[in-house]
Amino acid sequence: MGRVVILALGSRGDVEPCIALARALRQDGYDVTIHALDDFRDLVGRAGIDFASMRASLPRMGRGSRQVDWAMRHAHRHPFVAVAGVGLWLRGVATDIARSVTHRVRPTDTVISGILTLDTALALRAALGCRIAVALFAPCLPTREGPSLIEPLRPAHTSVLNRAGGTLAWAAGVWWSRSGGAAARRELGLAGRRTERSFLVPPDVPILLAASPLLVPAATDWGPRVRLTGPWHPPAPDDQDMPDGLTRFLDEGPAPVFASFGSVGLVSDIPLFVEAAAAAGVRLVTTVPRGSDMAPGRVGATAYVVDEAPHAWLLPRTAGVVHHGGAGTTTTALRSGVPSTAVPHQFDQHYYARRLALLGVGPTAVPRRKLDSAGLARMMMAMTRAPEAAEYRQRAIRTSVEAARERGTEEAMRVLRTARLI
């Protein structure tokens, strides 16, 4: 059996699907290593997968450059700010990531890369002859079909304008990967040599789109090498692995609303959530924002802040979910069988917010720049106490039954075998 190296540069939503695929590969006897940011060492280790540090961490407020801090604070206001902020952060960590990856990968490895390390993977193939595949978790491939594209100019239509907008969105992702690719080429002795670059994925490289067909319809113009596998879900943990304080809080009263903006959340979101839940008359569970020193525990009598709780375990125990619209959170919310809605901040989050609204599993999304506590309270009430709440719940249950039939990791394994990558 060969070795598979998974380059999982990104947030938790990028790492958890890779863990699910890695577990499937391990069960088939493959030696698997996940390269990820230091933030996810414990997450990968608890799954029994070998972890290789990229020698970098996610950006945190007050712990990076002033430019990155400013971009993080204002990313939800304009997409160009978000794109620039990610680019600045990646440029700052590119050399460390490139050194950690290039010094560990061997010529016989199969490398599975996300979009942020696409140019690095191409450099590894050019220098070492590695076999590579691309894993995507959002529909960022250019297409004329609006429902299958994260940034369509005509969302409900088929149009050349959509392909133009999709090409720009893809170019942003490619631009993000270029700083890492340039650093990898320096480490591998390729600097100054002509090699394939990342604007277009080479035609012999398979692309696995790990997304639910319920959310992402397959575009007819993607071509045969793009395979919509379904999402890659790790198994839900046992009750005994959950924080005692959280389980006691859940048992003490009616199911709470879960509200969290995940990796884009800020400390200032906590009082917003607490005020909105109080106005809506519901109990609340939320999460400690990334980079915050806030201690987990109760906030008053009806709210609980948790440091970490896997969504696959927590969300089915809630009355509704308000989230940022990240790919992983959205698909897990669909599988939970409870109403859900999004407050999109940036990038693909706006796409998933639209798709949730079309499925009718929760109230219409409100962009972060327009959200206040009164609006958030209305969203919570719509999912739990308003006349439409019962309809949202029925649709959510039906959707969860369909989502439970998806076998994303199994399909991904089949695609990799067919392409002779494993």
Q: What is the pLDDT of residue 43?
A: 92
Q: pLDDT at position 406, please?
A: 96
Name which of 419, 418, 417 is nearest 1 in CA terms: 417
- Stretches where the chain sits below pLDDT 70 are 1, 60-83, 238-241, 290-291
Using the structure block, give the residue that is written with the tokens 């809080």.
249
Strand ranges in 275-389 using DSSP code E only, listed in sequence order: 284-287, 297-298, 303-306, 320-323, 340-342
Q: 382: which residues sit within 8 A by CB, 6+ positions away? A: 341, 362, 363, 388, 389, 392
Residue 312's nearest CA partner among 403, 389, 382 is: 403
What backbone torsions phi and psi does residue 209 show, to the nearest 5 degrees? -100, 105
Structurally, at CATH architecture level, domain 239-404 sits in 3-Layer(aba) Sandwich (3.40)
Domain 3-231+406-418: assigned CATH number: 3.40.50.2000
**Cα 112 to Cα 102: distance, rounded to the nearest angstrom:** 14
Are 410 and 20 within 8 A, CB to CB?
no
The answer to whether domain 3-231+406-418 and domain 239-404 are alike in fold is: yes
Rounded to two decimals, what is the model's pTM?
0.90
Q: What is the pLDDT of residue 80?
A: 59
Element at 312 (helix H, strand E): helix 311-314
State residue 76's pLDDT score.
54
Helix, strand and coil percent figures for the chain, each rounded to 5: 50, 15, 40
Contact assessment for residue 176 and residue 253, using Cβ atoms and an 8 Å cutoff: no
Closest CA to 178 of 318, 409, 232, 170: 170
pLDDT at 173: 82
Q: How many helices (H) and strands (E) does the chain have?
A: 14, 13
Q: Find where tokens 């608890």 sit.
A: 46
Position 85 scores a pLDDT of 74
pLDDT in the model for residue 194: 77
Torsional sign, CA 405, 410, 411, 412: positive
- pLDDT above 70: percentage of residues in the chain: 92
- The set of residues, in sequence order, having a beta carbon less than 8 Å from that of 355 and lying 6+ positions away, is 147, 215, 216, 330
Range list of H helices, 360-418: 373-384, 389-404, 408-418
Domain ranges across the chain: 3-231+406-418, 239-404
Longest dimension (CA), the chain: 65
| Residue 199: Cβ within 10 Å count | 14
